[in-house]
Structure 1
């Protein structure tokens, strides 16, 4: 049998850190065989990001209690492991963390929020190409059986998505939880969106996204909406050449299984689990949505090729 892939966590201030560790288990008889988390670096919590500050110590203790060795640096984790999982919850840290470990040439998964800006995402992919690093990405929701069954193989013309749209400090608009909806839209309609319109509402003194429309060529369109309060359900409706298909996804540890199985498979094949142009398109949509939110006007999406 092929030995389990030894994964290392970079940043542990997300519930994905202990969840990934538990789902992989010993790499043989866990929920996701083929990989095991052996090392982790705690990460650095930003002073303006309470969600990280309030959780990083407890998650580090939890991961350590599961048998994972805590290291003093991301470089030490990279040296000890076969592949890396950047699961730090603050997306603003991802480009720098990626830069610190990409030179080791080992596969790197960047969790959900790949990078805050398209320029940073392009730099990260260029660094990966220079070092021969396999880049892995994507929201767990894209890999769920519910979405995969609805997506099928038919051409999708329209996507309607409804899910939570809360924000966090430093993560406005779609940058926090809305990126899950963006990922599903790109998974269904492909790379290369052209224009975006954002409708906003007020939550106290904050302006929040209530709905987003993204247009591709050939009259393909995605409509995304949701409330500012988090809830575990994401629902969708795909209009395809073969008819209408609907799906519903509930957040929880089981939702992560498809993602982790795909990561293991992609590493064995040596191919990305998400096309690189789709990674750039997701970042481009989120960035354009923030610009539309600030301007109060439709904006074009930055080139994602």
Structure 2
């Protein structure tokens, strides 16, 4: 792709509000809110029978995306052939590994929205497929790229982070697998991956009361870096945070909605142009590993240690 032509993006799975939101924000690739890319093709995806969130809205979102001028294809492979880069925005994270496998072989940039993979083993397989085919792996919660968070994080070294946000769940996505992954992503973006310094973290959700809808989790890197993540099962659009760095204390407040997605899409365009991952691969694996450990700690009530 050339630096002048808008990147032609293809959506893989359209059962998320991100599908029409991404399409609108990119626009025609020239004078949209996020110039440099445009969504041209999409594949609806295959909703699981046990995932109502997908079943009940996939047709409406497909119609909405089609109404915005996007060509609907009958397979992810057809989308991959027609586009320069792929956006896996299917809301059911359990579909991500297989969808990724089907398009990674084309050797094009592939963004996996928010929930990269349900398990660390699957995430490692996805990165191996990408390496074998030469695909550029893109990932990350939109909250990571929100200007409010990036401004608060700054350039100083962070050593303690306190995050509060909604923690609802969905069928097949227990514990932190659904909305908690946003908080884990912000924690890793602030404090680093498991591959840095200590090489392991201990996750403790023993003080949580999931049955009462109240969750509190501490993630300790073992070298002075600590993240606390808390919230309730009722969804709200707000995520709050406090970041303690070598230069002092910074706070941020993020509101979910289309404007929050702008930083992510700008970063995706830049990564496609430069060929550099937007999230370091060790951080992708660390996010998945910490989510897994958090879920185990929530289930057992005891701390769980996970290594690099």
| TM-score, structure 2 normalization | 0.96
Query: Offset of 1:234 from its aligned partner?
Result: 0.4
Q: Over residues 83-118 of structure 1, what are the superposed CA-to-partner deviations in whole Å (9 max), with x where a residue is unaligned?
A: 000000000000000001110000000000000000
Query: Offset of 1:165 from its aligned partner?
Result: 0.4
CA contact (8 A) 1:163 1:233 kept: yes
Map 1:1-305 onto structure 2 (within 5 A).
2-192=4-194, 193-198=200-205, 199-203=207-211, 210-303=215-308
CA contact (8 A) 2:202 2:222 kept: no
Query: Offset of 1:224 from its aligned partner?
Result: 0.4
CA contact (8 A) 2:184 2:290 kept: yes
Inter-partner Cα distance in structure 2 for 1:277 and 1:81: 27
Q: Which runs of 4+ in 1 moved over 6 A?
A: none
Inter-partner Cα distance in structure 2 for 1:118 and 1:170: 16
Query: Offset of 1:203 from its aligned partner?
Result: 4.0
Query: Offset of 1:302 from its aligned partner?
Result: 4.3
SS at match of 1:89: coil
Q: Which runs of 5+ in 2 are unaligned?
A: 195-199
SS at match of 1:23: helix
SS at match of 1:37: strand
Q: Over residues 139-184 of structure 1, what are the superposed CA-to-partner deviations in whole Å (9 max), with x where a residue is unaligned?
A: 0001011001110010101000000000000000100011000000
Query: Offset of 1:292 from its aligned partner?
Result: 1.0
Q: Which runs of 5+ in 1 are unaligned?
A: none
CA contact (8 A) 1:166 1:230 kept: yes
